[in-house]
Amino acid sequence: MKRLILPPRWRRTWREDLQPLLLLALGICAGRSSLADWNDVPTGSMKPTILEGDRVWVNKLAYDLKAPFTTWPLAEWGGPTRGDIVVFRSPADEKRLVKRVVGLPGDTVAMTDNHLFINGQSVAYEAMENAVIDQSSAGDPPPHLVATEHLDARKHPVMVTPRINSIRSFGPVRVPAGHYWVMGDNRDNSFDSRYFGFVERRRILGRATAVVASLDRNHHYAPRWERFFTALP
C-alpha cells in the first residue's frame, strides 16, 4: 500500500493553519467538559429562579475534577450541599437537567401538599410580595403562588400552580449513600426526583451559579438584559 503524500502547500496549510485550530478546539472542548460550561434551559421547571431561554454558568470544579469527556472523577473535594442548583445526567433518559438539591445522603425527605419536611422538620416558607414571573414564556394557566423557601441557611423562591395536576405529597423517603434528592423550584411543573428517584453522585456534572445570558423565545429571542450576569440564589 502506497503512502499518501500531500503536496507541500497542503502540508504547510495543515501544519500552520489547521493543526493549531484543531488543538485549540480540542482544548476548549476538554475545558468545557472538565472545568466550566454553560447550559441552555429550555423549560420552566426552575421558575421563577430560572426562566426558559436562560443560559446558566456551570462550575464543573465545584465538587470534583473529572477526566475530560467522561464522568470518571480524578479527584473529589466535596459534595453538593442542600440548596445547590446542580446540572446532572437524568437517571431516566441521560438528558442534562438543572434542579435544586433538596435531600442529602442520609436525609429523610417528605412533602405534604407542596410543603417540604427534611429529617422530620418542617421547612420554613415566607410569602413573597411583588414576585415577578415571566408570563411571556409561561404556558401554565394562572394563578401562580410564589413563596420563599428556606433550606438550611439558603433562601430561594418556589412556585406552585394549583390548577396543574402533579405530585404534591410523597414519602417519607430516605436518601441512600452516594445519592441526592433533587426538585425543581416550579413545584407543579418539574420532572425531578419525584418521578425518576434518587440521583447518583457520579451523575452530577457541576453547580449552576449564575445566569450569563437570557433570550425570550416567545418574543423573537429578544434579550432580557436585566437577567444577564445575575447570581442564582
List residues with catalytic annotation.
Answer: 45, 99
- Is 11 exposed, middle or buried (CB count within 10 Å of its CB: 0-12, 13-18, 19+)? exposed
Task: List CB contacts of 53: < 8 A, sequence separation 6 or more.
Answer: 40, 41, 42, 137, 214, 215, 216, 217, 221, 224
Residue that has been written with the C-alpha cell 451559579 in this structure: 209
Q: CA–CA distance from 203 to each of 64, 94, 190 (Å)?
A: 12, 9, 19
Q: How far apart are CA 159 and CA 180, in angstroms?
A: 21
Element (H, E) at 82: none
CB 86 within 8 A of CB 204: yes
DSSP classification of residue 186: B
Determine phi and psi for 138, rounding to 5 degrees. Answer: -95, 120
Residue that has been written with the C-alpha cell 450541599 in this structure: 81
Element (H, E) at 28: helix 19-34
- Specify the amino acid at residue 72: W
116's grid cell: 417540604
